[in-house]
Amino acid sequence: FVLIIDFGSQVTQLIARRVREAGVYCEIVPFQSAEEAFHRTRPSAVILSGGPASTAELGSPRAPQAVFDAGIPVLGICYGQMTLCVQMGGEAEPSDHREFGRAMVEVVADCPLFEGVWATGEHHQVWMSHGDRVVRLPEGFAVYAKSDGAPYAVFGNPERKVYGLMFHPEVVHTPDGAKLIENFVRKIAGCTGDWTMAAFREEAKEKIREQVGSSKVICGLSGGVDSSVAAVLLHEAIGDQLTCIFVDHGLLRKHEAEEVVSMFRNHYNIPLVHVDVSDLFISALEGVADPEAKRKTIGKLFIDVFEAEAKKIGGADFLAQGTLYPDVIESVSFAGGPSVTIKSHHNVGGLPDRMNMKLVEPLRELFKDEVRALGRTLGLPESFVGRHPFPGPGLAIRCPGGVTREKLEILRNADAIYLDEIRKAGLYDAIWQAFAVLLPVQTVGVMGDGRTYDFVCALRAVTSVDGMTADFYPFDMAFLGRAATRIINEVKGINRVVYDVTSKPPGTIEWE
């Protein structure tokens, strides 16, 4: 087990990704609660993340001294390297020459961190980002790599198994970084690398049984990967103590409701309540054009319906949710103030308080791709596991302006054709998320000999790692032409198709 102490770097989660890819389980804690977490979890190694502070600032964050006194392997990255240096008796100072971005390092001595990747005399690309610089090494430490701007790019003490890197090994711009992290956790720290989904599945089932005993559990299914995987795992663990509730708000993609219901009832034999409340939702949305108002209307109604259905089942003590690790990591904020709400995300948050139920969150230690791997281990079909993310408020936020049943039907049909073309072109898995948007704009066209005055459909496709940032997908024009022709020919109500070439930021992925 590896503990990652977060000093507020933007990429701390990536350190955790790399450690887990090396088959080693790890968790992230903010530096403020690191002392308690360190003593409670007794890790076999610690990684100190980067961060925006400078060791010279009064009150700048430190790692618990116990980390260095315990004699376990420690890896410090950027700010983590600086605080490690200072806390182990070295010296660092703010540098007037800050270095960011791509840099080359020269390996000056062989080092256990470099085993199998880097050798003395070689030059390698890394991603630098630092403000402070080391002026004196702690006793017993040596330099293993340097760059033009950083004479101590890598230092360490092999006897104490403590190393510091001035660059970020966790980002893809350090091409050998993953291997350096693997060397640290596997070779230097001696972790065995047996963190697999098969092992997780058995452990998670055990934990679920322990937590819920013989109580009943309800689980809200959305048709998305997370809640589906959670439901199947729970069902393996506790069988018919589990009931799933699928609130069909009429804002789903084409055939989605049938697919979800049939998979859970017929394939997995999981007790499932299917509530078709599309009329309720669509009439509540009538005349609501503001994006936030739409999101709030849907979120509130969803909770009302879910609560009413749960009451009918009666007596459930637990509510299961597909919460993932990125949602539970308490991130470190140096800005201090509350961040701006860009969108009010709708999920089933708010339910447990209102219903006075305890939560079961079997996926709260996993990242999205790990959930997908677990889904495959559980036998969920690839078409389900590999699905693009879909927002809780569904097609309503892909219909800017007022939502009507007719508009939703037009959008559903266009979206299905677009995704069909993407699949046929073999591009589905290369794209993080793709969908159609129906604009509340009518334009003039000509079809056959007649004039048309129909809606504009916008197509969106992005690549992303986590949905936080995204690039538009560079389709070739022939593909876009094919998709547009089919949509205009086959969907009544659309006579023009445009492609969205906005990245995030400044755009968001969804249009509302």
Where do contacts with ligand XMP occur on this chain (CB under 6 A)?
Answer: 343, 345-347, 389, 391-393, 433, 467, 504, 508-510
Instruction: Give the separation between CA 392 and CA 412, rounded to whole angstroms.
Output: 16
DSSP code string of 91-153: EEEEEEEEEEEEEEEEE-S--GGGTTT--TT-EEEEEEEEEEEEEEPPTT-EEEEE-SS-TTS
- Of 144 and 432, nearer to ligand XMP (C-beta) is 432
Shortest spacing between CB 388 and ligand XMP, in angstroms: 8
Quote the tokens at residue 356: 């006075």
Measured from the Cβ of residue 410, the count of other Cβ atoms closer than 10 Å reads 21
Task: For residue 12, give the DSSP letter.
Answer: H
Sheet with 45-48, strands from edge to edge, namely 26-30, 2-6, 45-48, 74-77, 162-165, 154-157, 142-146, 91-107, 123-136
Shortest spacing between CB 472 and ligand XMP, in angstroms: 12
- Of 313 and 430, nearer to ligand XMP (C-beta) is 430
- Of 347 and 377, nearer to ligand XMP (C-beta) is 347
Shortest spacing between CB 507 and ligand XMP, in angstroms: 8
- Of 375 and 392, nearer to ligand XMP (C-beta) is 392
Is residue 457 among the annotated active site residues? no
Q: Which of 112, 119, 148 is nearest to 133 (CA)?
A: 148
Quote the tokens at residue 26: 């790890």
- Of 66 and 359, nearer to ligand XMP (C-beta) is 359
Of the residues 124, 130, 170, 244, only one is catalytic, namely 170
224 is in an annotated binding site: yes
In 139-192, which ranges are continuous DSSP H helix? 177-182
DSSP code string of 226-263: HHHHHHHHHHHHHGGGEEEEEEE-S-SPTTHHHHHHHI
215 is in an annotated binding site: no
- Omega cis (within 30) before 506: yes
Count Cβ neighbours within 10 Å for each residue of 54-63 and write b for 16 or more, e otherwise. bbeeeebbbb
Of the residues 26, 78, 219, 399, only one is catalytic, namely 78
Distances (CA, A) of 147 to 88, 97, 142, 349: 23, 13, 15, 48
Output the CA angle 280-281-286, nearest 5 degrees.
Answer: 100
60 is in an annotated binding site: no
Shortest spacing between CB 89 and ligand XMP, in angstroms: 45
227 is in an annotated binding site: yes
Shortest spacing between CB 228 and ligand XMP, in angstroms: 13
Instruction: Give the separation between CA 133 and CA 116, rounded to whole angstroms.
Output: 28
Of the residues 130, 168, 249, 388, only one is catalytic, namely 168
222 is in an annotated binding site: yes
Which residues does 109 contact at the CB level (< 8 Å), separation at least 6? 120, 142, 143, 144
- Of 150 and 395, nearer to ligand XMP (C-beta) is 395
Shortest spacing between CB 287 and ligand XMP, in angstroms: 21
Angle of helix 405-424 relative to helix 477-490, nearest 10 degrees, comes to 140
Indicate if the alpha-carbon torsion angle 228, 231, 234, 235 is positive or negative: negative
Quote the tokens at residue 357: 């139920």
Shortest spacing between CB 466 and ligand XMP, in angstroms: 9
How would you classify the pairing of strands 272-276 and 123-136?
Answer: unpaired
Shortest spacing between CB 224 and ligand XMP, in angstroms: 7
Phi-psi region at 143: left, alpha or beta (left = phi > 0; alpha = psi -120 to 50): beta
Instruction: Give the separation between CA 194 and CA 200, rounded to whole angstroms.
Output: 10
- Of 273 and 465, nearer to ligand XMP (C-beta) is 465
- Of 90 and 393, nearer to ligand XMP (C-beta) is 393
Is residue 123 among the annotated active site residues? no
Is residue 168 among the annotated active site residues? yes
Q: Which residues are annotated as a binding site?
A: 222-228
Q: Could you list the active site residues?
A: 78, 168, 170
Q: Which residues are annotated as a binding site for ATP?
A: 222-228
